[in-house]
Chains A and B, each alone.
Chain A
Amino acid sequence: MSAPNPTPERDVILKTVGITKRFGAVVALRGIDMELRRGEVLGLVGDNGAGKSTFVKILTGFHPPDAGKIYLEGKEVSFNSVSDARRHGIETVYQDLALVPQLTVTQNLFLNRELTSLGRMGWLSNRKMRRLAREYLQGIKVNVPDIDAEAESLSGGQRQAIAVARATRQNAKILLLDEPLAAMGARESALIVDLVKDLAQNQGMSMIVIDHNYAHLFELCDRVNIIQQGRVAYDRSVNDTSLEDLTELMVSEYRRQLLEGQTQLDK
């Protein structure tokens, strides 16, 4: 279950112990123990409904966990809101992207972090936000037809790029990416993969990446955790695991369940 060589505490930027979460009758997480090291890219894989997104939403302060502890740089934290987690340097690309269709690219990029004058609820500094949005998107080579276009009018991949850009713009300590490449074509994926790699290698950003595409995971990640039935079932370094091994681990669990079902039917 745990990593082959225990990591020195100071190298661990984020650690969770026994995170559980249930939604009514559905138990989504049964005790997630996870360690994310400084500058590391950690992949999370698991079947649909395994609880990956729920885990991410607990780390972003969106869901409060039922039980369990979160340690950020060795200190126990509990996030009482998304803004709270953001203040601690946690940025997220949600699986549903969390974009507002009726808002422009710029407005989505700055959503809930708008630049204002005259106080917090005050006057929007639209011109400045548009300039910064254009500069940032050009800087990371993400091109959208128009930064004043409503998100609704963008393609699925473009929308995803905006969601990724919103999270990477912040110089976060920890970046959580929940299936960031799902709607993207090969070229666009390559762009985002390069961006993410650059942030990890050159800026030392730590990341958790969820992706059903193992090829992406092998390209991006240092380590992979397999989540099954609300727990971390396997923890593997990418260097001593092959794509086949990973597939085998995933499928063997499925076979075991099938067999279990079979034996129960036989009884």
Chain B
Amino acid sequence: MAQASLTTPAAPAPPHRAERGLSASTLIRTIVQRREATVVAVTLGVIIYFGIASSAFFTTANIITIAQYIAAIAVIGAGEVLILVLAEIDLSAGQVYLTSPWFMYLLWHAGMPLGWAIALTLVFCIIIGLINGVVTVWLNVPSLIVTLGMTYALFGLVLVESNAIQVNTPGATGRFGWAFGIGSWSTILWALGILTIGWVILKRTRFGLHITATGGNLLGAAEAGVPVRRIKVYCFMIISLASGFIGILDAIRIQSMNPGNTGLDIVLPGIVAAVVGGTALTGGRGTIVGTAIGAIFLGVLEDGFNLIGVSANWFYLAEGVVILIAMVANTQLTSLAARLRR
């Protein structure tokens, strides 16, 4: 054997994590290098700001309001993380969120017990994801277009089936109702559970690793034998299932369903939460923890602007500017972290 070796003698290997000293500078380094670092900082900033600006901010009632608002954004955002890591996008998740309670309602209206109606509805959601995935992967249509088409189709379906008339959600009562949206903390606890599952899948399982591989290098992953098409289809099914489920909870909580609501208004905050949280649109990188914090950021922003009485006219302008600032901070800090890593 030759004595040659691939080490570059001039660049010694960085010490292992355990061996690193715990000085303040390494602590700062470690924090800055986390992809979620910026969104945490920005979110803490807005929380402190609104906490000072409005005495109503840190009340239990207000925190419940925020929690209920962000549950759906966080769940849809977490689903989008899987999809964005694959370098795809799913615009239909919001419309699935709106359509699934309608499906449940129709089944219930036709005489099915509510529990069964929910179960069958979830199957219906999985099938929507399957269609999104199959058309994207096997018919080679960009997922942006496929899921936009799905959004319109489902919106139309709801309008047709409802005659464009608002209805009350089937009343869920007792413990069942409490668990499925009526309880103040019900939706956020479900959301936490779903996000935890998503985090485990992405970080700890072979399936999650293959999601990253597929999104990071589609051809390379396929050459290594990763079933890239199947992985993509599964992820479209997962996001549809999660969105449909949280949609049912929210419809039960709000107790009415308006067929005029549009899904894009719901999916876009989810995507923003994912991206602000540090998920790349180019694939291969995503963080569910960051998405959860991104959702909190959006929730606090929406709620805070309401509390301090920013007029509705200014609201979207302000929100847009803050999101842009957060994203710029994000990319700048990311490149700073990359430089520190050298």
Contact = CB atoms under 8 A, between A and B. Distances in A.
A124 interface: yes
A158 B224 contact: no
A225 interface: no
Interface string A123-145: 11000000000000000011111
A83 interface: yes
B42 to A, nearest CB: 24
B204 A98 contact: no
A188 B7 contact: no
A51 B71 CA distance: 53
B217 A191 contact: no
Main secondary structure of the interface of A (DSSP, over half): loop
A10 interface: no
Nearest to B217: A100
B238 interface: no
A121 B234 CA distance: 13
B13 to A, nearest CB: 5
A112 B217 contact: no
A68 B261 CA distance: 58
Given A107-B209, A190-B4, A112 B225 contact: yes
A111 B206 contact: no
A111 B285 CA distance: 17
Contacts of B206: 114, 116, 120-122, 124
B88 to A, nearest CB: 16
Interface in A30-80: 57, 60-62
A96 B210 CA distance: 18
A96 B14 contact: no
A100 B11 contact: no
B222 interface: yes
A62 B206 CA distance: 21
B6 A198 contact: no
A161 B219 contact: no
A103 interface: yes
A2 interface: no
B6 A98 contact: no
B18 interface: no
A212 interface: no
Contacts of B217: 98-101
Interface residues of B, number: 30
Interface in A146-166: 146, 157-158, 161
Contacts of B1: 141, 194-195, 198
A88 interface: no
How many of chain A's residues touch chain B, expressed as a range?
A: 35 or more
A81 B210 CA distance: 16
B311 to A, nearest CB: 44
A157 B225 contact: no
A173 interface: no
B199 to A, nearest CB: 13
A195 B4 CA distance: 11
B223 A100 contact: no
Contacts of A111: 213, 221, 224, 226
A102 B216 contact: yes
A113 B109 CA distance: 49
B23 interface: no
Given A101-B217, A187-B4, A198-B1, A83 B225 contact: yes
A198 to B, nearest CB: 7
Contacts of A97: 220
B6 A157 contact: yes
A96 B219 contact: yes
Contacts of A123: 204-205
A101 to B, nearest CB: 6
Contacts of A122: 205-206
B14 A100 contact: no
A144 B14 CA distance: 11
B225 A82 contact: yes
Contact of A112 (B4, B7, B210): B210
Nearest to B203: A124
A143 B9 CA distance: 11
A124 B6 contact: no
A87 B6 CA distance: 30
Nearest to A155: B8
Contact of A145 (B5, B14, B205, B213): B14
Given A112-B225, A194-B2, A100 B220 contact: yes
A191 B216 CA distance: 29
Contacts of A92: 223
Contacts of B6: 141-144, 157-158, 161, 188, 191
Contacts of B224: 82, 98, 111-112
Contacts of A112: 210, 213, 221, 224-226
Interface of B: 1-2, 4-7, 11, 13-14, 204-207, 209-210, 212-213, 216-217, 219-227, 284-285
30 contacts: A61-B225, A82-B223, A86-B225, A96-B219, A98-B220, A98-B221, A98-B224, A99-B217, A100-B212, A100-B216, A101-B217, A101-B284, A102-B212, A102-B285, A103-B212, A103-B216, A116-B206, A122-B205, A123-B204, A124-B204, A124-B206, A142-B5, A142-B6, A144-B6, A145-B11, A146-B13, A187-B2, A188-B6, A191-B2, A191-B6
Top 6 nearest A-B pairs (CB, nearest first) are A82-B225, A98-B220, A143-B7, A98-B223, A102-B284, A100-B216
